[in-house]
Amino acid sequence: MIKIQENDTIVDIINRMNASEDKELILDFPFSHPVLHNYLSLKILKSKASLRPITIVTADMASRKIGKSLGINYSVVSDTTTLEDKRKENLLKHNFSFLEYMIFELKKYAKLIWKFIYTKMGLDVLIYKSPLDKARRSWVGFILIGLVVSFAMLLFIFYFAVSKTYVYITPEVEVRTKAKNITFQVTNDVQTENDNIVAIKNISGTYTLENNFAATWIDYDNTARAKGNVTFINTLSEKQTLKPHTRLQSSAGLMFETTDWVAIPARWQVSAEIVAKLYDSDGKFIWVRWNIDKDKFILPGLKFNRDKIYATSNEKFSWGSDNIAYLITKEDIDNAKATMEEKLKKYALKQLKDKIDSDNRKNTLNYDILGVNDIVKYTNINVVNVWDFKEWDKIKDFKMNWNITVDTFIYNKDEVLSILKDLIKNSLLDGTEKFMFVNDKSLRMSDVITRAQDDKSIKWTMEVEYGISYDFENNSNYYVKKIKNTIMWLSNKEATNILTNDTKISSVSIKNSPFFLSKVTNRPENIILKINTD
């Protein structure tokens, strides 16, 4: 055998071939030697070998296709003895593949087992004279052969059939919008075969609502407001006169007013009665806060000299009560009628929707009101009962009962979604795009095309959002095959890093079977891609 060095040229190799007297030339090349990949160089070697067989020993699998066309034999090792020596020295040093090593080991042990069976376990029965001996040894041989064959089959199944890698992919989802023109019309519950027509049904209901309304006019004369005597002080050199209902403000912001004329001489003080107003300086209702203790009052109406003219109280105010007397006015009744109409519409629509939802649950349906403007009609809005009250009655609130009739059309959303889903699935690129979901809540009307005056036939464009991803479960797809060939025989971590950098993939998890394997199988057909929908 001629050992070729890495720096040997074609001339060096030919000189060593000519110097060799071996009947068969065995050239042991290092991995990726330039001569191995040069067709002309290999042809020269074949020519210089003349009639002597030439065998190239190399683990460079790619180079073998070039030389085999010239009639050059290839081998990983020159003979079994050399292989055994190399295996003992350092198996990986000689770049043996797993398959090549396994085949060699199986052949070696098969020879040893065959020799053992032949000489020790009954296949050499002819040399034994005892029939019992023959039978015993023959059965032992057959049993051992069966065990060996079973073990070999087990190894084959484990490495080539059982070993699988499951790649769970969460794909990047692209959200798109699909639109279709659909006609909604009253069909008298007759099922139509036209996939562009969806039946609608009329639904109506009459509802009654009772509501309380508050009177807003306050009867000042009959409201017990707090009152008390205060001392008005005038430090100016001129007489000051205050007319009735002149406002005074306490230190806490409570508002009061005079009940009569008050004349205050220059540099003097007089006593007079004041009564609380209903609201403080911030516009908040005073209520029982007006029963105040001793305090100082300013006159907020004065622009100047507020510190020269003021009032003080020397006693606690009394008579104040939180029982405010109200009067019902015509304005209160008219306001009640105006606000009641909107409340009735909202109430009636809610009751009708509740009825639709209840029927949907009972019958496992998905009906909804058509989403066209003014499709809901309200009629017969009137008062059915007025509680005993009249204008200027002294009551705080009053009640009224009202009727309203609501009328509209409903359709089955599932029928529309089914039409759009079929349209979406038929529009996907077969083998490349995979349907993921339809967002039912995104179903909406885009444009009204035609609409009958009685709303019994409406044609409009319906839109819905849906999601698609790449079809990673299609094994015949070129891109799927490329992924499998890229990750096979890599560690789970390396394969995960490669796949997560793919723009079509969001996240990846890899599991092997059996569980203790840590690498992706080297058989593409045993790499199973699955879309993770969790």
**Cα–Cα distance, 255 to 366 (Å, whole number):** 61
pLDDT in tens, 152-206: 776 666 655 578 899 999 999 999 999 999 999 998 654 555 678 999 999 999 9
- Coil, helix or strand for 141? helix
Task: Give 89 or 228, the one with higher predicted confidence.
Answer: 228
**Single-letter amino acid code for the residue at 383:** V
Handedness of CA 92, 95, 101, 104 (dihedral sign): negative
Q: What pLDDT is recorded for position 431?
A: 84
**Cα–Cα distance, 84 to 90 (Å, whole number):** 10
Residue whose structure tokens are 């692209």:
174
Q: What pLDDT is recorded for position 35?
A: 85
Which tokens sit at 455?
Answer: 């709303």
Q: What pLDDT is recorded for position 528?
A: 93
**Cα–Cα distance, 125 to 192 (Å, whole number):** 86
**Cα–Cα distance, 284 to 153 (Å, whole number):** 95
**Cα–Cα distance, 302 to 279 (Å, whole number):** 19
pLDDT in tens, 269-294: 999 999 888 777 887 766 656 678 88
CB 57 within 8 A of CB 80: no
Q: What pLDDT is recorded for position 290?
A: 65
Terminal CA-CA length for the chain: 62
- Coil, helix or strand for 6? coil
**Single-letter amino acid code for the residue at 88:** K
Which tokens sit at 460?
Answer: 């409009």
Report how far apart, in Å, the C-alpha atoms of 28 and of each of 19, 43, 115, 156 are: 16, 17, 31, 31
Report the percentage of the chain scoring pLDDT > 70.
78
Q: HEC states along 48-91? A: HHCCCCEEEECCCHHHHHHHHCCCCEEECCCCHHHHHHHHHHHC
CB 303 within 8 A of CB 283: no
Please state the rounded mean pLDDT for residues 126-133.
Answer: 49
CB 253 within 8 A of CB 280: yes
Instruction: State the CB neighbour count (10 A cutoff) for residue 403.
Output: 16
For residue 4, what are the contacts with CB-CB under 8 A and spacing of at least 6? 13, 27, 28, 29, 30, 33, 35
Q: What pLDDT is recorded for position 33?
A: 85
The number of C-alpha atoms within 13 Å of 326 and in the hemisphere containing its C-beta is 16
pLDDT in tens, 428-438: 998 899 999 99
> Could you tell me whether strands 262-264 and 240-242 are parallel, antiparallel, or unpaired per DSSP bridges?
antiparallel
Q: Which of 34, 35, 31 is nearest to 44 (CA)?
A: 35
Q: What pLDDT is recorded for position 281?
A: 82
Geometric angle at alpha carbon 93, from 105 and 11, rounded to 5°: 110
**Cα–Cα distance, 324 to 117 (Å, whole number):** 118
Report the percentage of the chain scoring pLDDT > 90.
39
For residue 313, what are the contacts with CB-CB under 8 A and spacing of at least 6? 228, 229, 230, 231, 292, 294, 295, 296, 297
pLDDT in tens, 439-477: 999 999 888 999 999 999 999 999 999 999 999 999 888
Please state the rounded mean pLDDT for residues 235-264.
Answer: 92
Q: What pLDDT is recorded for position 73?
A: 84
| Banded pLDDT at 80 (limits 50, 70, 90) | very low
Q: What is the DSSP string of 457-492?
A: EEEEEEEEEEEEEE-TT-TT-HHHHHHHHHHTTSBH
- Mean pLDDT of the chain, nearest integer: 81
**Cα–Cα distance, 206 to 377 (Å, whole number):** 12
User: Domain residues of the chain, as ranges?
Assistant: 2-95, 108-162, 164-173+472-531, 226-319
Q: What pLDDT is recorded for position 417?
A: 94
Q: Which of 493, 492, 530 is nearest to 512 (CA)?
A: 492
List b or e across 2-25, with b for residues whose CB sees 16 or more CB atoms inside 10 angstroms.
Answer: bebeeebebeebbebbeebeeeeb
Q: What pLDDT is recorded for position 110?
A: 77
Of 45-49, 67-71, 321-325, 380-384, minimum mean pLDDT range: 321-325
Q: Which of 220, 260, 264, 225 is nearest to 241 (CA)?
A: 264
Residue whose structure tokens are 């909804």:
368
Burial class of residue 246 in the structure, from the number of CB atoms within 10 Å of its CB (0-12 exposed, 13-18 middle, 19+ buried): buried
Q: What pLDDT is recorded for position 68?
A: 79
Q: What pLDDT is recorded for position 321?
A: 56
For residue 339, what are the contacts with CB-CB under 8 A and spacing of at least 6? none
Q: What share of the chain is helix, strand, coil (3-state, %, to 5)?
A: 35, 35, 35
For residue 411, what are the contacts with CB-CB under 8 A and spacing of at least 6? 184, 198, 199, 200, 201, 367, 368, 370
Q: What pLDDT is recorded for position 4?
A: 87
Report how far apart, in Å, the C-alpha atoms of 229 and of each of 234, 244, 273, 300, 452 are: 16, 15, 4, 19, 76
Q: What pLDDT is recorded for position 37?
A: 82
The DSSP secondary-structure symbol of 318 reads B
Q: What is the DSSP string of 280-298?
A: -TTS-B-GGGG---S-EEB
**Residue 431 falls in which region: left (phi positive, over 0), alpha (psi -120 to 50) or beta:** left
Domain 2-95 has CATH 3.40.50: yes
| Banded pLDDT at 96 (limits 50, 70, 90) | low
